[in-house]
Structure 1
Amino acid sequence: MQSITETHKTVARKEKILQFGEGNFLRAFVDWMIDILNEKTDFDGNVVIVQPLERGLSDMINDQKGLYTTILRGVQGGKNVEEFRTISSVSRCLNPYKKDDYEAYMKLAESEDLRFIVSNTTEAGIAYSEGNSLQDTPQAAFPAKVCAFLYKRYKAFDGAQDKGIIVIPVELIDKNGDNLKRIVLQYAKEWNLEAGFTTWLDEACDFCNSLVDRIVPGYPRAEAAQLCEKIGYQDNLLDAAEIFHLWVIECHKEFHEDELPFNKAGLNVIWTDDMSFYRTRKVRILNGAHTMSVLAAYQAGHNTVQDCIADKNLLYPFMHGGIFEEIIPSMDGSKEELEAYANDVLERFENPYNPHQLLSISLNSVSKFKTRNLPSLLGYITKQGSLPKRLVFALSALISFYEGTEYEGSALKGKRGNETYLIQDNQDILETFAALYKERDEGLARAKRISTAVLSNSAWWSQDLTQIEGLQYAVEKNLEAIWSVGMQKAMQAL
């Protein structure tokens, strides 16, 4: 079979977008949109991807000259729909941890064509960490990379106002653009950069908040060979996603749809000056349902979100009850509108074409629980005056899922029956859990010790959760049940 580079051609365009992150989501969302912009408008721009970690997909992407295929599948109007698209909007992928790539990456700061930065470095990526300097090649922290890159651009163009950058992060944290800018300014101050740079950041650049909505299972490993036969060429970077997509972009200075004419291309993009409603609805219902369910579901023997929907006796009632009886009652806004959105979400979860792997959703679950589920848990307590039993159980299942004491690479190894699975999160979080699980106590004493350490960790939750009346006791009892009778029976007891 011929390769994708033998059957399709790359297209040379101006490199207008710098993208931090080479993962499945950005390639099936942002880069897919840019490909459509190039086809349907006069945008005429390509994306340069920067690999944010030392290990990643840069070699695979460059081997295919940036080309790959998106497979959008779902049900529309009662009919199964399948759309294939060969993406040609990625010109190259740089690994800044390689000397030559680092120089090419920083050279982009001097580009007349560059106008946008987009990113997806997970919820944990937009965070300050000590030990980064302007001289690092590159900096470890993502916001430090952005600060150094923008400072290089500021110097290259002598602070020209028309050389500012529009920054649109898509990480699923509240006010992602505002938070990224805040940390960039923190590094600028720490590195003693001149006041003119911070003025240029304020006046010439626009750090937009944004919200993305598309389920992207990614590489369809189980059916990759069959799909390549169907499209007629070998593609090692197939990227599967649902058909639905939504991008809400909140701008501070002006809407940038004249430069990114998504709506002219028929794409579902909303430019707004206040995205709070859209964000709360999506993060707490769609993402919240994922994070609430997947860790318990995996430990109960399931592997995909579709497995959960199909399990009408245990996992589906858990997810449905969590959404309609706990998450929605914790929120403000129209109950009817929220329930309508929730029903659409459950239908999207059932999409038979995209078996979304639970383990892929489990990445960085501590920060995800804080962002997606903790506001619902606390809001429910405030509004209803009691603990939401499913959300509390989800927190207990998180603690149970992170049980491991040995590593495989940078991941902690957990066990499900005779299987080993990888627990992936920030290193300090994994080290904390590994230390907690090394001690050999059992039963309620073990549950009490571990729950106390986890719930009281204000660095993780921005508060001491042991101070919430009844929460620690409920988590202890859940953990004791999970460890003694197994996840399925513990969930049934709810």
Structure 2
Amino acid sequence: MASPVTVLQIGEGNFLRGFVDWMLHVSREQGLFHGSVAVTQPRPSGKAKLEELAAQDGIYTLVIRGLEDGLPVERQSVVSIFSKVIDPYEEWNRFIDLAESDDLRFVISNTTEAGIAYKQEQLTESPIVSFPGKMAYLLYRRYLAFGGAADKGLIFLPCELLESNGDTLRDIVFRYSLDWGFPDDFRAWLSSSNRFLNTLVDRIVTGYPGEEVAQAWFSEWSYTDRLLTTAEPYHLWAIQGEETLDEQLPLQKAGLNVHWTNDLRPYQQRKVRILNAAHTWMAPLGILHGVEHVREIMEHQVLGQSVKSMVRFEIIPTLPYSADEMNAYADTVFERFNNPFIRHRLSDISMNSLSKFKVRLLPSLSHYADIGHQIPEGLVAGMAGLLRYYCIAQVDGQFEGRDYQGGTYVVRDDAESLTRIAEIWAKAEKNREDLQSTIKELLALTSVWGKDLSDWSGLADSICHWWAKAEGGDRG
């Protein structure tokens, strides 16, 4: 007998299949999770993938490969957690029928950050386009079906990479309920009987591998799977909710790296200030050195050790958490960066580096400036490398810089900021300004940094010292 549908999943893509669905599969294999998933796509463009899932009866293969404790691992799972595959744009009534399911308990989504957004929409007999709009109507129909029963609300677990993703989704669902004139009693039930939990997800799901690798596996397995996907071993799901919820969705009990917590900030901060900060530090410096991928940075004789030292001895001391816990987390980050199966391009990471630096690295620099200490050399190198990477000129409608070997690269960022920075460099060249004056002018751009950094004691001098060494060939 088919397992009851206890989870509605909005999102048919690689990430959820390599993350949440795999977790549910692991839990079910241990006899802990007894439900199944109804999967649907958030946009009409997902039709083709959904049809592929339906053609394979919702079954697909996941291969987890990478490093664990420094050793290579490769594990294959055949995941069969989907019991229903529904296209809401062609099977609207079948989708809405889920509202009347006594078994349904959770809604999990990954619609990208753009999916949790309000767009004015009319309520008609046609399928609702937006994800929050669909949820507002689904919940209204559920309210009607069960007479507003307090125990028939749903728990929403959005996986979109958006801070306060649950709160944001809840607010937009409420807005649609007002737009469409749903009764006040429904909104009271929506507030009291439904949960929209904020979550943080972390796993790199690399999708379908290269064709040569895929065909080798197909030969080994004696079957073909066009929905094959791959992922790294590391996974984290932090959910802002009480630990007793694991009884309903037994993931932590299954030994998975799932944390029910009353505060997501430690998980968010360590990810932003360690993992994301390391990415933002290495991207400009790596490109200047002619390095293309994250793993090459880790193997670089100078940059690899520099990024590790910067994280351990300069960033972690600025965080209000246990140093042992943060260093253990840093160990997992560096192991992930060394994954031989992930080719993470620095050119992709470098996009919008100005805003990323402001959020990810500037708080660590500010920590030292605020207490009157000299900013440590690793963080100085990050700021100096960023400014050197943004030593740009406008060429044929795009902004180009030159690496240490004389090769060109294109910088992608906010057009207004790039224009202003290019003007500063052009003026400096025309007037033959000294480097320190130019650096101070760049540091004074409050529109970029959110504050004036030009008066931070010793920062401009330290950047110029680093710059002279780097341009002279000493890039340690």
CA-based RMSD:
4.8
Matched with 2:271 is 282
Checking the alignment, whether the CA contact within 8 Å between 1:49 and 1:94 is kept in structure 2 is yes
Q: Structure 2 CA distance, aligned partners of 1:189 and 1:404?
A: 50
| SS class of match (2:135) | helix
Judge conservation of contact 1:68–1:87 (CA < 8 Å) in 2: yes
Q: Which residue of 2 aligns with 1:220?
A: 209
Q: Residues 330 and 394 from structure 1, CA distance in 2 versus in 1: closer, same or farther, beyond 3 angstroms?
A: farther
1:47-126 alignment runs, 5 A limit: 47-56=37-46, 57-76=49-68, 79-96=71-88, 99-123=89-113, 125-126=115-116
Q: Distance in 1 between matches of 2:454 and 2:347?
A: 30
Q: TM-score, normalised by structure 2?
A: 0.75
**Number of matched pairs:** 453
Q: 1:327 to 1:78 in 2, by over 3 A?
A: closer
The residue that corresponds to 2:380 in the other structure is 389
Shift of 1:204: 1.0
Contact 1:207 1:251 in 2 (8 A): no
Question: Of 263, 267, 277, which aligns to 2:256?
Answer: 267
Identify which of 445, 454, 459 aligns with 1:470: 454
Kept in 2, the 8 Å contact 1:465–1:471? The answer is no
Instruction: Select the structure of larger CA radius of gyration.
Output: 2
Q: Report the Cα distance in structure 1 between the residues aligned to 2:61 and 2:31, rounded to whole angstroms.
A: 21
Matched position secondary structure for 2:206: coil
Cα distance, 1:164–1:138 mapped onto 2, change above 3 Å: same
Matches for 1:139-288 after TM superposition, within 5 Å: 139-140=129-130, 142-221=131-210, 223-251=213-241, 255-288=244-277
Deviation at 1:31, TM superposition (A): 0.3
What secondary structure, in the 3-state scheme, does the structure 2 residue paired with 1:74 have? strand
Q: What amino acid is the match of 2:103? A: D
Q: Which amino acid aligns with 1:276?
A: R
Q: Which of the numbers 386, 408, 415 marks the counterpart of 1:433?
A: 415
Shift, 1:163, TM fit:
1.5
Structure 1 unpaired stretches of 5+: 1-10, 408-413, 424-429, 458-463, 483-487
Q: Following TM superposition, by how much is the alpha carbon of 1:89 offset from its aligned partner in structure 2, in angstroms?
A: 0.9
| Alignment gaps of 5+ in structure 2 | 430-437
Deviation at 1:118, TM superposition (A): 1.4
Of the three residues 345, 348, 352, the one matched with 2:340 is 352
1:420–1:439 Cα change, 3 Å:
closer
Q: Contact between 2:201 and 2:236, CA under 8 Å: does it hold in 1?
A: yes
Preserved contact between residue 39 and residue 86 of structure 2 (Cα < 8 Å): yes
Q: 1:490 to 1:392 in 2, by over 3 A?
A: farther
Asked if residue 444 in structure 1 is aligned to residue 433 in structure 2, the reply is no
Q: What secondary structure does 1:240 align onto?
A: strand
- In structure 2, what is the Cα distance between the partners aligned to 1:53 and 1:406? 33
Q: Which moved more, 1:72-81 or 1:166-175?
A: 72-81
Q: Deviations over 1:438-486 (max 9, x none)?
A: 99979435999xx99xx766xxxxxx735333399x99xx9xx99xxxx
Match of 2:35 in 1: 45
Q: Distance in 1 between matches of 2:383 and 2:24?
A: 41
Distance change in 2, residues 1:404/1:121 (3 Å): farther
Distance 1:445 1:53 in 2: 48
- Match in the other structure for 2:302: 313
Q: Report deviation, 1:84.
A: 0.4
- TM-score scaled to structure 1, two decimals? 0.72
Cα separation, partners in 2 of 1:129 and 1:217, compared to 1, 3 Å: same
Taking a change above 3 Å as real, the CA distance of residues 133 and 441 of structure 1, as seen in their structure-2 partners, is farther
1:355: how far off? 3.7
Paired position in structure 2 for 1:332:
320
What is the letter of the counterpart of residue 198 of structure 1? Answer: R
How much does 1:88 deviate?
0.8
Relative to structure 1, the CA distance from residue 341 to residue 435 in structure 2 (aligned partners, 3 Å threshold; closer, same or farther) is closer
Report the equivalent of 1:323: 311
Which moved further from structure 2: 375-384 or 316-325? 375-384
Deviates more, 1:109-118 or 1:354-363: 354-363
8 Å contact from structure 1 (residues 404, 433) kept in 2? no
